[in-house]
Structure 1
Amino acid sequence: MTATERRASVWLSSIFALRMLGLFLVLPVFVLEAARYPGGQDPALVGLTMGLFGLTQALLQIPFGMASDAWGRKRVIVVGLLVFAAGSFVAAAAQDIHGLMIGRALQGAGAMSAAVTALLADLTRDEVRTKGLALLGGSIGLMFALSLVLAPLLNTHIGLSGLFATTGLMALAGIFITLRLVPAEPPQHKDLQGGRFWDVLRNRELLGLNFGVFALNAVQLAMWVAVPAMLVQAGLDKSLHWHVYLPAVLASFVVMGGTLFPMERRGHLRAVLLAAIALLALVQLGFLEIAGAPTLWGLATLILLFFCSFNILEASLPSLVSRLIPASSRGSALGVFNTAQSLGLFAGGALGGLLLKSGGTGVLFGAMAGLSLLWLLLAWWLLPALKRKQASH
């Protein structure tokens, strides 16, 4: 990487990390703390409050992505962070569950993920772009693990309102980083046309990648509906779950660095992606196998393998989207991609809870294994065409 590419990768990843940490900080304690608010004893309202973020984010990813093509990436990132900060402060000041709902909906309305990803793609060459996007993708898993450590400690001292206020301050810090530390964005082709957006929607390879990120995030969130309870069943107190999560995330970064980047340089990216999807399916089958009597070492091994698969795919998929689309439509394509990602998170949480309630962990992991295998078959069909297009890029 050049110095500019390193700066872009580090600082844009830090913006993404601050936002994700702000989101994840409230999740480990939200259900318990929301019960202290008027109306917070209704599980349906609490669940809706948690899910509103994903819904508003999914609705606005495409408009924000298209806006970044037309008006510039940094402007859209700053607007998104301001809206996200406003939602955080509204939630911090909330006096009942409805105030929390409004705050969470506003947080999701700051849907600037596509603009961040598109700007990083603009500032990096094809051959090193996956490395930069690996930092973005890896920040999700790392911030999730870190939130499990920090959330209970911070909640003891500042409560849920303090956590939301901290989230708002982190968003404001992201604005400073965007304006002062991220390299200047290249000139944009401000000739966005509706036809190009429909071309994005009809693109066969992009459809496959969008389905892939939907499946990946649906599996991810559905897993976490059941995995924490399985760890408790295996004898690990919930306050110590980070002892499994954090080492697994960090070790998976080492595995990704030793497999994805060297194999991509040698022209074997297709094989790595198919192997990672197959591993995702095997992990779900592994959880299905031990669902009745989970062991701590078995769970720890499967969680490590999951993060190895997840980080490789989370880094590679947006990189491939950015290579298939010219810079003038990159934000639109990544907006659709991030919409599929948000819908996957929403569907994974909703479907995971429904499957767990109706059929137990066996049905849940069986369904996620089936979804992963469906993705593997689709990727096997689409990736050869994708490989040819990359070669001619």
Structure 2
Amino acid sequence: MRNYKILPEEKKSILILSVIYFLRMTGMFMIVPVISIYGNHIKDTNEFLIGLSIGIYGITQAFFQIPFGLLSDKFNQKILIYIGLIIILIGSTISYICQSIKGIIFGRFLQGIGAISSPIMTLLFDLTREHLHSKVISFIGFSIGLSFLCSIFLSFYIVNHFGIFNVFSLISFLTFVSMILLYFTPNSKKHIFNRETKIIGNDLLKILFKKNIINLNISIFLLHLILMFSFLSIPLKLIAFNVSKFYNYKLYFLSILISFFISPLIISFCEKTKRIKKLFINSIIFIILSEIFIFYNLSEKFFIISGIQIFFISFNILEILIPSLINKICKAGYKGTAMGIYSTSQFFGVALGGILGGYILHNFEINYLFLTIIVLSIFWLFLIKNIPEPIYVSSVRIMIKNDLYNNLNIKNKLYKIKGIISFLIIPEKNVIYLQIDENKVSVKKIKKLLKK
């Protein structure tokens, strides 16, 4: 019988690596909410360069996300994480020392190369038992949410008291702390190869051109492009309505905090009532409505504040929903690769959102940025209107013995078991990956039927 209790060594690994993930994500987010407000005080800057300083990080993250993921299966993960953290430290230090917009751009370019998400997750999965991996993912998810909130508070506090360049000195300090913490992380004694958590190079083309997967990758791309547009435009709109720069952070902080509590409740209700497709479509509609609220110069601040709150609730719903849908739609054994492509699409959205948003602000009025968001959201709405209601499945991995695979026609047995949605057999690894409907069949029953 499985022991679901987290062992002391596992607790240590989860805690340390979740903190490292938290510190890294805090550093990544920290410059985004403040650069559009305070960036104009930097010498020789303009709106386009401000947008480029946000987007350049996404470009290098997007290009290095999959390579780091592939390397994490072949090399020591701790060494890869150290390399990534050193690159982030160098980039942050350059941004602080140069004290210029070009220094920020080059520093952010280097920061993005340190794409350590995959090595951290691989090391975490190696240091914990397989049936605890869902808990591990929830810890990492919590650390990302917390880092987003903390970065809002810290960035505005530091900029108001110490100046914008000291944001990078704090990022350098957080990166150095992460390197110290990594030293105390246990070493992986045995690497566990699991296709559901790893990027498989040979599978990239198989996943890349699946219609529903393409639409979901375009969705995460558009969502983060719209987020970057919003971070560039909303603060300027608030200032135009005589909302002080320092009050910006309180508004952001409260809006995001409220959305963190409301979004999971809405998703949970819609999953129970099988209304995920409706929720997806309605969230995009609410993003359009929120931008209209902010776009029109209504006399009451209430409309802008309401628009910001609606935007962040809708954003967080979609941020949770899209990867969940990829996991449900993707066939057994291909989830790790699909999520690698998803992360790359996400960072390309950040990249183009920052660069294109900066270009629009530099060459046109701010309202054109809101109009672009509305047009893109309408296009997005038509793109996903035919997406199917997801099948509610669980992904499992079953180890098989050599003699069992050689002596029995496993494929025929699996086809006959009701409740198995898809499966992938990897004979050389003695493993079967399955997608199952747990209302119809259990893992215990599948194992029993295979042994007969």
Tell me, in whole angstroms, the C-alpha distance in 2 between the residues paired with 1:183 and 1:324.
34
Secondary structure (helix, strand or coil) at the match of 2:65 reads: helix
Task: Tell me what 1:365 maps to.
Answer: 370
Which structure has more helix as a fraction of its residues?
A: 1
* Residue 268 of structure 1: how far off its partner (Å): 4.2
* Pair 1:380–1:59, CA change in 2 (3 A): same
Equivalent residue letter for 1:31: G
8 Å CA contact 2:204, 2:337 repeated in 1: yes
* Pair 1:224–1:254, CA change in 2 (3 A): same
Task: Tell me what 1:237 maps to.
Answer: 244
Q: Say which one has the larger Rg.
A: 2
Task: Tell me what 2:255 maps to.
Answer: 248
Task: Tell me what 2:39 maps to.
Answer: 31
Task: Tell me what 1:259 maps to.
Answer: 266
Tell me, in whole angstroms, the C-alpha distance in 1 between the residues paired with 2:157 and 2:284.
31
Q: Superposition pairs for residues 290-301 of structure 1, below 5 Å?
A: 291-293=296-298, 295-301=300-306
Q: Using the TM superposition, name which of 339-348 and 70-79 deviates more.
A: 70-79
1:56 to 54, 60, 72: 60
Q: Superposition pairs for residues 11-26 of structure 1, below 5 Å?
A: 13-26=18-31
Q: Does 1:279 align with 2:283?
A: no
* Residue 219 of structure 1: how far off its partner (Å): 0.8
* Residue 305 of structure 1: how far off its partner (Å): 1.2
* Pair 1:372–1:44, CA change in 2 (3 A): closer
Residues 115-166 of structure 1: CA deviation (Å, up to 9, x unaligned): 556777896779778855642553464244224432324525xx61x43232
Secondary structure (helix, strand or coil) at the match of 1:381 reads: coil
Tell me, in whole angstroms, the C-alpha distance in 2 between the residues paired with 1:203 and 1:75.
35
Tell me, in whole angstroms, the C-alpha distance in 2 between the residues paired with 1:117 and 1:285.
39
Task: Tell me what 2:351 maps to.
Answer: 346
Equivalent residue letter for 1:276: S
Task: Tell me what 2:410 maps to.
Answer: none
8 Å CA contact 2:70, 2:201 repeated in 1: no
Tell me, in whole angstroms, the C-alpha distance in 2 between the residues paired with 1:213 and 1:239.
30
* Residue 217 of structure 1: how far off its partner (Å): 0.7
Tell me, in whole angstroms, the C-alpha distance in 1 between the residues paired with 2:370 and 2:272.
34
Tell me, in whole angstroms, the C-alpha distance in 2 between the residues paired with 1:8 and 1:50.
32
2:108 to 100, 104, 125: 104
Tell me, in whole angstroms, the C-alpha distance in 2 between the residues paired with 1:112 and 1:56.
12
Task: Tell me what 2:342 maps to.
Answer: 337
Equivalent residue letter for 1:90: I
* Pair 1:240–1:98, CA change in 2 (3 A): closer
Tell me, in whole angstroms, the C-alpha distance in 1 between the residues paired with 2:302 and 2:14.
35
Residues 244-281 of structure 1: CA deviation (Å, up to 9, x unaligned): 11111111111023222354356544443333233222
8 Å CA contact 1:210, 1:337 repeated in 2: yes
Unaligned runs of at least 5 residues, structure 2: 395-418, 422-434, 436-452
Task: Tell me what 2:145 maps to.
Answer: 138
8 Å CA contact 2:52, 2:354 repeated in 1: no
Secondary structure (helix, strand or coil) at the match of 1:111 reads: coil
* Pair 1:218–1:389, CA change in 2 (3 A): same
Secondary structure (helix, strand or coil) at the match of 1:387 reads: coil
Tell me, in whole angstroms, the C-alpha distance in 2 between the residues paired with 1:94 and 1:356.
25
Tell me, in whole angstroms, the C-alpha distance in 2 between the residues paired with 1:262 and 1:90.
47
Tell me, in whole angstroms, the C-alpha distance in 2 between the residues paired with 1:276 and 1:124.
33
Tell me, in whole angstroms, the C-alpha distance in 1 between the residues paired with 2:27 and 2:84.
14
Q: Superposition pairs for residues 318-333 of structure 1, below 5 Å?
A: 318-322=323-327, 330-333=335-338
* Pair 1:211–1:183, CA change in 2 (3 A): farther
Which structure has more strand as a fraction of its residues?
A: 2
Secondary structure (helix, strand or coil) at the match of 1:382 reads: coil
* Pair 1:314–1:79, CA change in 2 (3 A): farther
* Residue 176 of structure 1: how far off its partner (Å): 4.5
* Residue 9 of structure 1: how far off its partner (Å): 7.3
Unaligned runs of at least 5 residues, structure 1: none
Size of the aligned set, in residue pairs, is 383
TM-score scaled by length of structure 1? 0.80
* Residue 10 of structure 1: how far off its partner (Å): 6.4
* Residue 208 of structure 1: how far off its partner (Å): 1.8
* Pair 1:98–1:155, CA change in 2 (3 A): same
* Pair 1:212–1:226, CA change in 2 (3 A): same
Task: Tell me what 1:380 maps to.
Answer: 385
Task: Tell me what 2:231 maps to.
Answer: 224
Residues 310-354 of structure 1: CA deviation (Å, up to 9, x unaligned): 112222323444555589765543332222112212222233334
Task: Tell me what 1:198 maps to.
Answer: 205
RMSD of equivalent CA atoms: 3.8
* Residue 34 of structure 1: how far off its partner (Å): 3.8
Tell me, in whole angstroms, the C-alpha distance in 1 between the residues paired with 2:356 and 2:103.
26
8 Å CA contact 2:55, 2:352 repeated in 1: no
Q: Does 1:113 align with 2:117?
A: yes
Higher relative contact order (CA 8 A, sep 6+): 1
Secondary structure (helix, strand or coil) at the match of 1:187 reads: coil
Tell me, in whole angstroms, the C-alpha distance in 2 between the residues paired with 1:22 and 1:169.
10
Tell me, in whole angstroms, the C-alpha distance in 2 between the residues paired with 1:102 and 1:277.
34
Residues 48-106 of structure 1: CA deviation (Å, up to 9, x unaligned): 44443222222212212222344476554443223212222233333765544432221
Task: Tell me what 2:319 maps to.
Answer: 314
Secondary structure (helix, strand or coil) at the match of 1:285 reads: helix
